[in-house]
Every structure is written in structure tokens, then in C-alpha cells.
Amino acid sequence: MEKIYLDNAASSPMDERVLEAMMQYFTKAGNASSIHAFGKPLKVALEDSRDNIADFLGVKPKEIFFTSGGTESNNTALKGVSLKNYKGEKRHIISSTVEHPAVLDILKYICEKFNFSLTLLKPDKNGEITPGAVLKEIKKDTLLISLMHANNETGLITDIGSIAKEKGDVYLHSDTVQSAGKVKLNFKKMGIDFASISGHKIYGPKGIGVLYINEKSKIDKFSHGGGQERDMRGGTENIPAIVGLSKAFDLLRENIDKDILHYKTLRDYLIKKLKDAYGEYVLFNSNERGLYNIVNISFNTDKLNAAGDMLLIRLDLNGIAVSGGSACSSGSLKPSRVLLESGRDEKTAMASLRISFGRKNRIDETDYFMEVLKDLVRKK
């Protein structure tokens, strides 16, 4: 039985060309911070990678910092700006109830430990966080807004640019882990102050990420130690992973237009198949304004036998990997918090799937998914 991976929003398979670029650095002696002949080539690789990624994101190399992934990038940005300002008058933070736990848990910690106040916006009837709703919550003491660019479960996009234009002197952080490589990002044009990216969502290695810090933004460093990353993150740099991440960005530069069209083709094909099979009994939690690679659906359990919490398991037994929500919490088989916050009832949220396409997925895989799904989800 062929196994079909339709959970690329959780993690994408590393491209073979990324691994090839990394291989020579696993066995090289030296440290990028050393000044001798063994260290200098590693330093060159480090800074060349930084230049390359900065160019892709439309920012300056000195604004790019390497981390272990999206979670560390979020921690560094959110804790860093809060620690820098915890004695000041600005002590209010705005975010939403549908953020990734790698943002919500951090913000709750900051508020508990440093006595910041937190406003969490609920999505509107379309599941979206609108600029108007965000801007209404800005007060004199608002320090920071943190909103993901694209939701990791539904793929719905927040208009970060419109918020940035009107936010005044409030810091704006965006988790762009899910949208990187699925839409074209230019952090300068978006007007954000901090942004997070994770390598394993863009066909790069796991355990490496990027934090963008606008050169005008002031934060405390989060990881103390050596003077690496311009004294912002102590610790010897992971050169193989950084080189691999840079190669992943090279491949995005070459393929992003083709990738986006590919995702759209697969998404449109799947949506038509779902509508043909289930009509009004399939509910779409993502829309045409969201990321093309994510289709999030719920089934009307009054009309369909959707197997509830067993649906994911039954699909897996048929060789199909999809998700019911965030990969960080999907093992619990609980209803999606994002869908509950977006207005779905618990029963419907349990009968939900997130199908997320990658660069190598094919139409025939979508056909097989639909064949299996129609066998598992039937009209009552």
C-alpha cells in the first residue's frame, strides 16, 4: 500500500538538494567564531547564508538571526521586547485566541510573570482576525501586537500590512512559519518589526529557524552566553543546518511561482471533489483568500457518519497522513481549539480534517484520498 503524505503544514519533507548542500559541513573541523583557517570558511558560509535569506525576505543581513526554529524565534522576540520594556508605561499586548501555542503560551507567561495585560481577539464569523478589530484595541499603553500571518490550521491570512500602516509606535510581531514559501514575503514592505520562520516548513532541515528583527527595534537578548549572532543568541552556530536552510531558500526563489500554482491546482481539484461527494454537508473552514496549500474541512455529523475522533486513525490505516489540527497537539485527539474559537461546535470540530499539500503531491494522491474518504464518511 502506497503511503500518502498530506500533512505538509505540520512538516515538509526535506529536499534532497538541501541535504546535499549540508553534507560537507557535518565533518568539517572548526568554529565559525574562530579566526584561524579552519574557522574562516564556516564564517563565510554563515554570512553568505544570512545574506541570501535576507535578500529573499527583502531585509538587511544584520536583521536576520538564526535560531533553532519558529518556537525559539517567537520566544526571543516576544520575551525580548517585553523584558526590554517591563519597567516602562507600555504594558498592554494584543493577540488572538487562534494563535499557535508557541505564541499564546509565551504571552500568558509574560503577563503572569511581568504583570502585562493581554487582549485576545476572537475571529469573526469567517474565522478571520480583521485589521479593524485589532486597531480598535490599541490603547495608550499598548506595547506589542502579535498575530500570525497565516493560521496553521485553516490557512486563513491576516492582513498584517494594513495593521502595520495604522499601528503607530506599537511593535508588531508576526509568526510567518506557515505562510513562508506559500506566499511571497517581504518583511520591509509588510511593515512588521519581528517575524519568525521555521526551516522544516519550507523543505529545509528541522531544528533551524530565522528571526527577523527590524534594525530600529529594541529588545533584550533571550539566550545569554557567547557573542554569537551579534551578541543576540549565545551558542555555537549550527552551520550544516544554516547552509541547508539557505539552500531551501534558494529552491524557493527558483520554484515559488510554480509551487503556488501547484498548490492552487491541487486545492481547487480537492474542493470540487469534496463538494461533488458531500454537497452542503461538508463545511469549509478555509477560504479562497487563504493559503492555497491548506484545505480545512468539517463534516455535518447530523447528516454524515464521519467517525469523529476515529477518522484520522482510519485514514492512517489506509496509508493517508492528514491532521485534525495543529501537529503540536493533534496527538490528543481533542477538538481543534482554532475551530471552536471560530464558531464550530465540539461535535463538528471533532469531525474535521486539515489536508495540506506539498511540492511533491500529485492529483492521483488526491483521488486516492477521496476514494478512501468516501468509504469512511457516508450519509446516514
Dump pLDDT digits (tens) for 110-141.
999 999 999 999 999 999 999 999 999 999 99
Name the band, by pLDDT with cuts 50, 70 and 90, for residue 238. Answer: very high
Report the CATH architecture of 16-252. Answer: 3-Layer(aba) Sandwich (3.40)
Q: Is the pLDDT of residue 332 over 60?
A: no
Q: Is 111 a catalytic residue?
A: no
Task: Delimit the domains of the chain by residue range.
Answer: 4-11+255-379, 16-252
Name the band, by pLDDT with cuts 50, 70 and 90, for residue 326. Answer: very low
326 alpha-carbon distance from chain centroid: 10
Share above pLDDT 90 across residues of the chain, in percent, rounded to a whole number: 83
Q: Is the pLDDT of residue 352 over 80?
A: yes
Tens-place pLDDT, residues 285-313 = 999 889 999 999 999 999 998 876 689 99
Q: Is the pLDDT of residue 7 over 70?
A: yes
Name the band, by pLDDT with cuts 50, 70 and 90, for residue 331. Answer: low
Give me the amino acid identity at 50. R
Answer yes or no: are the C-beta atoms of 338 and 98 closer than 8 Å.
Answer: yes
Name the band, by pLDDT with cuts 50, 70 and 90, for residue 333. Answer: low
User: Got the DSSP string for 270-336?
Assistant: HHHHHHHHHGGGEEESS-TTS-TTEEEEEE-TTTEE--GGGHHHHHHHTTEE-BSS-TTTGGG-PPP
Assign domain 4-11+255-379 one CATH number from 3.90.1150.10, 3.40.50.740, 1.20.80.30, 3.40.1550.10: 3.90.1150.10
Give the mean pLDDT of the chain.
94
Q: Tell if the pTM clears 0.85, that is, is over it.
A: yes
Annotated catalytic residue, options 44, 313, 328, 363: 328
Q: Which of 84-88, 232-236, 317-321, 341-345 holds the top average pLDDT?
A: 317-321
Give me the amino acid identity at 339. L
